[in-house]
Structure 1
Amino acid sequence: MAQKEAKARLKINMLLSDAGWRLLDNEDGPANVDVENKVDIENLGDDFENTRRGFVDYLLLGSNQKPIAVLEAKRESIPPLSAKEQARDYANSLHLRYVILSNGNTHYLWDMQFGNPEPISSFPTLSSLEDEKKWVSDVDALVNENISRTYIAESQMPEIKTHPDYINEDTRSEFIEKNKLKILRKYQVNAIKAVQKSAQNGNKRFLLEMATGTGKTLTCAAIIKLFLKTGNAQRILFLVDRIELENQAKKSFRQSIGKDYVVKVWKEDRDNWKTADIVISTVQSLLASSRYRDFSPNDFNLIISDEAHRSIGGNARAVFEYFTGYKIGLTATPKDFLKNTKQDENSEKEFERRELLDTYRTFGCESGQPTFRYDLKDGVNDPDGPFLVNPVILDARTNITSRLLADEGYAVHKIIDGEDVDENFGIRDFEKTFFNEETNRVFCETFMKYAAVDPLSKEIGKTIIFTVSQKHAEKIVQMLNQIAMEKFPGKYNSDFAIQITSNVRDAQQLSISFSENNLRGHTRWLSDYESSRTRVAVTVGMMTTGYDCSDLLNLVFMRPVFSPSDFIQMKGRGTRLHTFKYVDYENGEKVKTIKKENFRIIDFFAVCEYFEEKYDYNAPLVVPMSRQTQNTLVTPLLIDVDPPVIVVNRTVDLNENDSLSGIDETIVGKEGMRVDREMFRSFQDEVKSNEEFVKLYNNGNIDGALSYLKSEILGEDKPKFYMTPEKIRKIFNLDRRLDLREILDLIMNNKEPLTKAQYIQQKFNELISDKGLSETLVGELYNDAFELFDAYITDRRVSEAIDNRDYSLLAGFGSITIEQLKRLGIERVNQIISYIRDYINVEKLRVKD
């Protein structure tokens, strides 16, 4: 045997021993590894290397000493997958299901009844193979399982569909609320169906890109039920990147599918986790001391990674890739705004781009299109919704921060602590190389003045403030509590604001209590109102991802932000819907409810303006190198701790006066912010790279291109894009529907669609030209004709009245009168109406704003 092959065998022997296989008889039992076993392969034919017999490198034996798996070994220089077909023939001849391929360094486990070889970092144990052997996946069952909006609720209450209070539409809402039933939204059902369709196409990895607040955990609960119910998983691992998300996920799964399946957190039940159907763990818990190696690679048939681009980054990837089986990634962070960036390889922006692109590749979405996508704009504009809310932005700059934001920076020429300071400070220097207590005081006083208030108790609404550092957070908390004590005597006892950063004891529990409205007890502003006494959580890097606190009304940026994905995550804390509810027991238990319509961003560092106007979504951009050390990228930090602050010089106290220079309010409309609109550009790039489509278009086959666009690209059933004409309409904030030709022009020629008014005017001009009416329709007659044209198209009442010849109704509409019709004459009226019927799709122009 060659030396290199012998070296590989030694490594393989060690890996087998580590997994509990016995190469020799010992006190635990007889050897269960047979080496160089001769296999009769006569039935395979004459074309297998011109031989009818072969030798299996390793034959792994079950508890009954019968073969259970083939292990094919190769020397270190040969890729293990090169032995795939040889091992397949050996396994088939022995009627075995499992194959392991290894060269000592790289390994694959192949369940031939399940799919393709999957990379593993250690060998499976005998018990895991025997357990899995009893289980066979059924993709057909997975694909054909009917997913309805009551899919989760049927686990909570099996008789829901036949319950009279659910059947009755008048009592349904109250019935659902009273029993706390989880009814899936349409887009959540579509997400699950996208996974089913992808699995039908042979995929085992899926990526769901869903905006914060759209119910990713509930969608996951339905997917988990789908896999367990159809027998496509025996046990599922749900990975999160922060401790508080463990408890949040456990609570959610137990409330939704807990009656059908056992849910456990691994660190709480390490000794009996095998009794669970769903095991929840942080990546860090499994990564510490390589505890994930205590499991067998096939102990879980489905692995779900929450906030995937974070929980599979760096060393955490080892945990995720260790396990075989189906894999699902969840993320609220789209990667499209980082596309086509060619930045220095050590820049933070390039690092973030690679990290996100790697996430898409990990889940089989190399094209950049996830298995399913539902973004913030979808949530705000969903016809069944809204399911999310947009912010009102208050741009509040002080004199000093305004100068920090200017190109020339903030110039300082003074003696501080006996030293000359002659320097220009920039936006990234605040609280790192200098601080100014007066600026922080202006921040706090401005927040107290302009913060949105709770609609029921009328106190300052619940708030998250993002600061530069833990020290900065400490300062802000101290100031806010001092102001609150003076402004609201007797209401708070140094608990108006609480610091929630990683250096604070029980920080995770503090964040949970804030969300559950019992941090430092309940409010003193309204008796028996279940809202937290603490109104403000001051943090740095915590509470940015996966944190569910739907009644937040204020987000405050007391720090600059340069990463689009960080900004989207931070902004997403406020987008969730919420209904504020209070039972007034003093007035006969009268229930008061007010729905959250928006939330407020108070922005002291022009963060929103930066991502709306200044951030270059295509060109390279230099940003802080917080992940870079001596030109070598280090492993990104997981978000259960605050990021480090790099301090170049000692921090100096400027001790200068400061004041609010101005405050501007921007109400974000349905079109969303620019960072939310970059999606269409990615879709456009993908379509223009489709060779078959572009060939049809370039060859002048417009009808063929339109047909291809309709059948292969657009539609909710196309998860590769999940782009529909309606979604495009919303992206461009149009007040009418688009036809396919307009979408084609938009994609290929960047031709901006016309608004409803522009479109109607264009079509009216075409009528005048086509019918030769330019000389007869002049002056008052021209106005009458246009008003008839416009009213018949846009107002259904007008068209129905004219079509039914019930002209008396027109007097009450105000858009066209009988007198105008008389001036035009019956011939011209019929000519205009006939033209509209022949050439204009009226329904596309009747879209409510």
Structure 2
Amino acid sequence: MILTKKQMTEEDVKRLYITPVLESKWDKNKITMEYRITDGRINLKGNVVRRMSPKKADYVLWLNKGKPIAIVEAKDNNHSISYGMQQAKEYAKMMDVPFAYSSNGDGFQEYDFLSNEERTIALNEFPTSEELLKRYKSELNKGAGISRDEETVLEQPFYSSQKSFDPRYYQRNAINRTLEAIAKGQDRVLLVMATGTGKTYTAFQIVYRLLKSGLKRKILYLADRNILVDQSIDQDFSPLKRVIHKINFNEDDPNTITSYQVYFSLYQQLAGNSDDSDDEEVTSKLAKLFKKDFFDLIIVDECHRGSAKKESNWRKILEYFSSAAQIGMTATPKETKEISNIDYFGEPVYTYSLKEGIEDGFLAPFKVINIMTDIAEGWRPLAGQTDINGNIIEDRIYTNSDFDYNIVIEDRINSVAREITNYLKSTDRMQKTIVFCANEAHAERMRIALHNLNKDMNHDDYVVRITGSDEYGKSKLKYFISTSQEYPVIATTSKLLSTGADCKMTKLIVLDQMIGSMTEFKQIIGRGTRIREKDGKTHFVVMDFRNVTRLFSDPEWDGPIEVNEGYTNEEKPGRPIKEVDGDNPNGKGEDIIKTKPFIDANGCKVEIINKKVSVYDAEGKLLRVENIIDYTKTNIKGEFASLDNFINTWTCNKKKEEISNLLLQQGIDLNALKEEKNMSDVDDFDFICHIAFDQKPLTRKERANSVEKSDFFGKYSGVAREVLEILLETYKNEGIYEIETTEVLKLEPFKKYGTPSKIASYFGGKTGYINAVQSLQNVIYGVI
């Protein structure tokens, strides 16, 4: 039967009409079909994690591997030629593609983003790659055409090898936009990319293409933490290792240092760690190794920190090398009265937000567990109460803003540590966890409390304090962030892990410090946003003991950059006075400067009084507040109106696993929930009755014992009885689903009786076997 075009599916139209036209006009190597743009958002529903479908373009046409130039969306012939245009335009805008096409097999609808023109063309009028490239070059820069440097950059491919991966669409956009800006002569460029989206990989591809194109020859990469420099050199920048040099003022020879192409340095090495030095002092130090025009490109990593501040020594480095093009990279651009990225670098050439990353499925979504103690909103000492040192405690109301900053309540620390431990025990005790504490002293107390509660893990490094002045802890940082090392599992910290450290496997972030800075809050949340699906990391949990996650309701969470004229984000009212405790990237300091009142459990007993689980969308808007038990109970009752209704459905359903699968679709993973409640030995039937209808649960062993005491097996003899006894034992160990099908008869305990069909013959055939198993199930669940 020959189909008419109207009877054809979309795939038929593509195969017979659209693909042949494209392949006649374009090199097949420059056509990608079913191009996957996103990974598909990860949704958290109940205790089930599911990926949504990714966004895919029917066709992407490429000028070269680094530059897509057209999107083509296909529809079947029952739709108009232009029906797929909106989708094509959406994908084209996402991918920075200048031409969008739609087709139903009769012709093409074309939209040109550069000229803003739309037209319909015949199938055979689709432009060749040469024609489209010519149009692209001539229409660039508002019709002025492409410059020689822009063309040079355009022709330079990305770095590629068997060990590397192609850039994601937003990384390609960021790279191309940056290169195009530099090719046009823009000497200050700002890139804003959320934590976990690959800023360093993006920087590497920018550097690689600029070096290969010859537009830049000497490049300086600046960071403020050794780990950021070492990570970059060893990982993303490793293909350039032969031409890379890490600056060391104590060892470098001015006569030989000039032979490299890419230089890495800490700000502190070039300009010192203090802002007290004058311009001449900084200039003199820099001049010992480099002339002012030595570098022609500087990349400023995490530029939201000190480099953005006008009076900082770090800014003086950028000013000394002012003739170089400078690229600022940050996840959280800072705009205050004193500090402005935009004032220095200009408006971002490209922004990829946390919201976009979560929506696209490249970043992990999260749940928030808000936990309140009975002293969170206020604790007042008794008249004349003293601390453990015998000192009178100042008579006032102490709140979350005071605990561990101005007063230490020992039992509060223990309560927090118990809550963290209980959560890990109910989920996964080996999941990487960061506990953000008020200061280094608090981080040490928290480490001790967590260690004592987890002594059974029998490992010295199960919990480690990783702070600026803790040399042992800092030595363990590379193991904590490693995806292959199990220990340390829990890191207690204050500031050191809040930014920069690439903690890919972090599944639990604990907030036990006050945070008034949106920049800092975003950076901390960013510690969990990386996805490692093959290693079991699809989402993360934020456990909040100080109501810090109220900041999700702040417009700044995923809103526009705004300048705050009144005060810096770090100085917002209500933020506790900072202590100098040494927890900075390179500082050395004491654990504590001033003596605080210390109250032991005899002076203040602390209890957890409220817990709330919240699910937010990528914009920080609250989607729902859920307790997994309440959520399960509500959904089960929504499916089964009463206990009798559920029991009837369960016992009448020949495949009981269908009920489990039905609940799974609603976001209820019974096995995971049973593990969390330490009820893995309970049958699903009993667990559902217990959770939803408040019935006392029986274990599978208890139900099996009841069957053995009954006269059920007396009805059978020989092999049939032995098979049923093995099936009951299988139920006791594995569950009801294991004995529902004849597949179980292929397992080792049954092989001595022959094939499944041979075993069924002892019951008079397959129907007799199935009836016997159904009778066994009826007895298990008490149905006579």
TM bucket (normalised to shorter chain) is: 0.5 to 0.7
| Structure 1 segment 320-359 matched on structure 2, within 5 A | 320-323=318-321, 324-335=323-334, 353-357=336-340, 359=341
What amino acid maps onto 1:434 in structure 2?
I
Alpha-carbon RMSD across the aligned residues, in angstroms, is 3.4
The AA in structure 2 aligned to 1:380 is I
Instruction: Supply the distance in 1 between the matched residues of 2:313 and 2:381 (Cα, whole angstroms).
Output: 43
Would the alpha carbon gap of residues 492 and 356 (structure 1) be closer, same or farther in structure 2, given more than 3 Å must change?
farther
Q: Does 1:248 align with 2:231?
A: yes
Match of 2:317 in 1: 319
Partners of 1:239 and 1:304 within 8 A in 2: yes
Q: Does 1:140 align with 2:113?
A: no
Question: Structure 1's 418 and 607: CA in aligned 2 closer, same or farther, altered over 3 A?
Answer: closer
**What is the correspondence of 1:660-739 to structure 2 with a 5 Å cutoff?**
660-672=608-620
- Distance verdict in 2 for CA 1:473–1:626, change over 3 Å: farther
Relative to structure 1, the CA distance from residue 251 to residue 502 in structure 2 (aligned partners, 3 Å threshold; closer, same or farther) is: same
Alignment-derived partner of residue 538 in structure 1: 492
Cα pair distance change 1:624/1:151, threshold 3 Å: closer
**CA 1:281–1:613: 2 relative to 1, 3 Å:** closer
Shift of 1:669: 2.5
* Counterpart residue number, 1:500: 466
The corresponding residue for 1:233 is: 216
| Alignment correspondent of 1:267 | 248
**Structure 1 residues 610 and 647, CA, compared in 2 at 3 Å: closer, same or farther?**
farther
Gaps of 5+ in 1: 1-137, 158-178, 339-352, 518-529, 582-593, 675-849
CA distance in 1, matches of 2:588, 2:617: 33
Q: Note the 1:498-647 alignment, pairs <5 A.
A: 498-517=464-483, 530-581=484-535, 594=536, 596-612=537-553, 625=571, 639-641=585-587
5 Å matches for 1:481-500?
481-485=451-455, 488=456, 491-500=457-466
In structure 1, the residue matched to 2:205 is 222
Secondary structure in structure 1 of the residue aligned to 2:305: helix
CA distance in 1 between partners of 2:155 and 2:330 (Å): 22
Instruction: Look up the match of 1:769.
Output: none
Aligned to 2:599: 653
- Residues 177-207 of structure 1 deviation map (CA, whole Å, 9 limit, x = unaligned): xx42131111111112212332354311100
8 Å contact 1:501–1:641 — kept in the other structure?
no
Alignment of 1:798-813 (within 5 A): none
**Counterpart-to-counterpart distance in 1, 2:180 and 2:518:** 31
TM-score w.r.t. the length of structure 1 is: 0.48
Call closer, same or farther: CA 1:673–1:637 in 2, change over 3 Å.
farther
Distance 1:574 1:439 in 2: 25
CA change 1:197–1:413 in 2 (3 A) is farther
Q: 1:196, 1:600 → 2: CA distance? A: 37
Q: Could you report, residue by residue, the CA deviation over 1:306-360 in whole angstroms, capped at 9, with x for unpaired residues?
A: 011214131111112111211000011034xx6xxxxxxxxxxxxxx13442x21
Return closer, same or farther for 1:625/1:199 CA change in 2, 3 Å cut-off: closer
Counterpart code for 1:274: T
Paired residues of 1:210 and 1:216 also in contact (CA < 8 A): yes
Q: Which one-letter code corresponds to 2:402 in the other structure?
A: D
Shift of 1:275: 2.2
Unaligned runs of 5+ in 2: 1-145, 273-280, 623-784
TM-score (norm 2): 0.52
* 1:22-48 Cα distance to aligned partner (Å, 9 max, x none): xxxxxxxxxxxxxxxxxxxxxxxxxxx
How many Å separate the matches in 2 of 1:627 and 1:284? Answer: 31
SS of alignment partner, residue 542 of structure 2: strand
Shift of the alpha carbon at 1:665?
Answer: 0.5
After TM superposition, the structure 1 = structure 2 runs for residues 774-793 of structure 1, keeping only pairs within 5 Å, are: none
Would you say 1:387 and 2:362 are equivalent positions? yes
2:380–2:395 contact (8 Å) kept in structure 1: no
Aligned-pair distance for 1:646? Answer: 9.3
Distance 2:479 2:620 in 1: 31
Deviation at 1:395, TM superposition (A): 0.3
Partners of 2:450 and 2:595 in 1: CA distance: 28
Once the 2 structures are TM-superposed, how far is the Cα of residue 270 of structure 1 from its aligned partner?
A: 2.0
Q: Does 1:396 align with 2:344?
A: no
Query: Is contact 1:240-1:311 (8 Å) kept?
Result: no
Aligned-pair identity (%): 25
Distance 1:497 1:645, change over 3 A: closer
Q: Is the 8 A contact 1:473 1:499 kept in 2?
A: yes
Match for residue 292 of structure 2? Answer: 297
Q: 1:599 to 1:361 in 2, by over 3 A?
A: same
Say if 1:621 and 1:245 are closer, same or farther in 2 by CA, change over 3 A. closer
Displacement of 1:432 in angstroms is 2.2
**Counterparts in 2 of 1:624 and 1:576: CA distance versus 1, 3 Å:** closer
SS at match of 1:422: coil
Q: Does 1:189 align with 2:172?
A: yes
| Counterpart among 282, 285, 301 of residue 269 in structure 2 | 285
Q: Post-superposition shift, 1:558?
A: 1.2
Instruction: Kindly provide the amino acid, as one letter, of the partner of residue 316 in structure 2.
Output: A
> Which residue identity does 1:503 align to in structure 2?
S
Question: Deviation of residue 226 (structure 1)?
Answer: 2.0
- Contact 1:389–1:598, Cα closer than 8 Å, also in 2: yes
> Match for residue 780 of structure 1?
none
- Given that 1:152 and 1:257 are in contact with CA atoms closer than 8 Å, whether structure 2 keeps it comes out as no
Alignment match, 1:754:
none
1:459 aligned residue: 429
Q: Give the deviation of 1:381 after TM superposition.
A: 1.3
Amino acid at match of 2:344: T
Tell me which of 446, 451, 456 is aligned to 2:419: 446
Q: Deviations over 1:277-331 (max 9, x none)?
A: 1110100011137432221111111001001121413111111211121100001
1:421 is paired with a residue whose SS is coil
Counterpart contact for 1:410–1:426, Cα < 8 Å: no
The CA distance in 2 between the partners of 1:253 and 1:274, in whole Å, is 23
Give the 3-state SS of the residue equivalent to 1:279 in structure 2: strand
Question: 8 Å contact 2:436–2:493 — kept in the other structure?
Answer: yes
1:451 CA drift (Å): 3.7
Aligned pairs (5 A) from 1:65-214: 140-146=148-154, 151-153=158-160, 157=161, 179-214=162-197
Aligned to 1:189, the other structure's residue is in SS state helix
Deviates more, 1:297-306 or 1:225-234: 225-234
The 2-side partners of 1:671 and 1:371 are apart by: 22
Q: Secondary structure at the match of 1:145?
A: helix
CA contact (8 A) 1:413 1:421 kept: no
Report SS of the residue matched to 1:203. coil
Matched, 1:421 2:405: no
Q: What are the superposed Cα offsets for residues 432-461 of structure 1, whole Å, 9 maximum, x if unpaired?
A: 22111110001000011124888xxx4331
Q: Is the 8 A contact 1:433 1:648 kept in 2?
A: no
Displacement, 1:255? Answer: 3.0
Per-residue Cα deviation, 1:152-193 (whole angstroms, up to 9, x for no partner): 21xxx3xxxxxxxxxxxxxxxxxxxxx421311111111122
- Measured at CA, do residues 420 and 464 of structure 1 come closer, stay the same or move farther in structure 2, by a change above 3 Å? closer
Q: Distance in 2 between matches of 1:623 and 1:580?
A: 38
SS of residue in 2 equivalent to 1:463: strand
